[in-house]
């Protein structure tokens, strides 16, 4: 029990009197002492919620969203990125397996660029019409090279250039055809290979028959074999190069028809089956083009001149013997003036770096 002092210094001891006194007396506050009023606390906003966890690649694929950007497969300046977008769009909207997606995208792109094989067939037709004259120029050039007559070679080159110009045969078109076909092949090849390398969702189970995994190699080597055989047939008909096998030199014909398929088989056997599916589909489309362009109605539709079949001359030597004979003949050709000049320059450089001759 404490004593409290009230008016007239009367000490109050009773609890009842003390409680009555405190009810009418204001207690001392911080304002009376410090002349300061405490500020009320400002309104505190509610605590922000944490961001939701990022969705996985599989969840985005199931939701039908593109995952090319997340996998690093999208670049605005690469044509292969747009082909990947086409592959992804066909697969998601058409709801077809990945092997069929690759085939459909390849067919669509080849149909969109049908002007390239049309130009190739027009060039082949013109060259077949003047095959005799072109072979004559080639033989004259070979004879001039064997004789080492550089002036005669230049004269024949000028005659051949004027002849090709008068017949509207532009060899630059053949280069354009090769460049266009190479660009299309590189676009599709690198687009599919990158998707295989990053294991795009669904490719490992998007195959069919014996190649269910499009990211693995063919265990039976069937697709590489089909790719090699069809490529050999494509080079024989010349649908992709602007020239047929009959218009090639023996060395070129041997390399394109026999060596190239062997190389393709060895290389494609190391590729994933997804790439082999594209390669087989592209080669089959080329063969279909070659067969279709042999039809007279289709050639008239696309304004392709008719092929002129020159009478074949029976040869006593095979292609391999022709190549060996041509190699020996080229080896025995005397050096040109430019080659002699280069040889003299190399000998002069060696003499300058050699040790000085000591007079004995």
Domain locations along the chain: 76-125+180-310
Residue 180 pLDDT: 84
Phi and psi torsions of 211, nearest 5°: -115, 70
How far is 128 from 248, CA to CA, in rounded Å?
11
CA count, 13 A, side-chain hemisphere, 296: 1
User: pLDDT of 329-353, one tens digit each?
Assistant: 666 666 666 677 777 777 777 776 6
Q: Using pLDDT thresholds of 50, 70 and 90, give the confidence band for residue 72.
A: confident
The pTM for the full model equals 0.71
pLDDT tens-digit profile of 160-219?
889 988 888 887 777 888 888 888 889 999 999 999 999 999 999 989 889 999 999 999
Q: Residue 5 above 60 pLDDT?
A: no
Average pLDDT estimate for 289-299: 88
Q: Can you give the pLDDT at residue 143?
A: 83
Which range scores top for mean pLDDT: 5-19, 128-142, 190-204, 224-238?
190-204
- Please state, in angstroms and rounded to a whole number, the distance separating the CA atoms of residues 360 and 346: 28
Q: Which residue has the tokens 């506050």?
A: 29
Mean of the per-residue pLDDT values of the chain:
79
Q: Is 80 exceeded by the pLDDT of residue 326?
A: no
């Amino acid at each position: 029990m404490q004593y409290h002092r009230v008016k007239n210094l009367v000490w109050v001891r009773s609890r009842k009197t003390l409680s009555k006194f405190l009810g009418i007396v204001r207690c001392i506050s911080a304002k009376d002492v410090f002349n300061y009023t405490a500020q009320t606390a400002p309104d505190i906003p509610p605590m922000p919620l944490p961001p939701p966890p990022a969705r996985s690649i599989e969840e985005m694929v199931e939701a039908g969203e593109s995952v090319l950007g997340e996998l690093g497969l999208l670049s605005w300046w690469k044509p292969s990125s747009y082909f990947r977008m086409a592959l992804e769009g066909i697969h998601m909207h058409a709801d077809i397996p990945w092997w069929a997606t690759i085939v459909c995208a390849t067919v669509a792109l080849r149909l969109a660029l049908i002007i390239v094989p049309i130009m190739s067939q027009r060039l082949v037709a013109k060259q077949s019409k003047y095959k005799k004259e072109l072979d004559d120029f080639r033989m004259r050039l070979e004879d001039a090279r064997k004789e080492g007559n550089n002036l005669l070679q230049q004269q024949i080159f000028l005659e051949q250039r004027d002849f090709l110009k008068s017949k509207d045969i532009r060899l630059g078109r053949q280069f354009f055809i090769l460049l266009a076909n190479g660009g299309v092949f590189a676009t599709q090849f690198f687009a599919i290979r990158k998707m295989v390398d990053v294991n795009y969702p669904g490719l490992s189970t998007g195959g069919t028959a014996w190649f269910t995994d499009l990211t693995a190699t063919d265990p039976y080597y069937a697709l590489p074999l089909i790719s090699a055989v069809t490529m050999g047939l494509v080079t024989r008909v010349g649908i992709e190069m602007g020239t047929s096998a009959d218009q090639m030199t023996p060395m070129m014909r041997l390399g394109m028809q026999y060596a190239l398929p062997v190389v393709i088989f060895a290389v494609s056997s190391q590729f994933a089956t997804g790439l082999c599916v594209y390669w087989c589909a592209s080669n089959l489309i080329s063969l279909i083009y070659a067969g279709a362009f042999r039809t007279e109605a289709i050639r008239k539709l696309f304004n392709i001149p008719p092929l002129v079949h020159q009478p074949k001359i029976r040869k006593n030597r095979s292609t391999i013997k022709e190549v060996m004979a041509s190699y020996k003949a080229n080896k025995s050709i005397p050096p040109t003036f430019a080659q002699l000049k280069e040889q003299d320059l190399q000998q002069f450089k060696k003499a300058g770096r050699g040790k000085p001759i000591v007079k004995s």
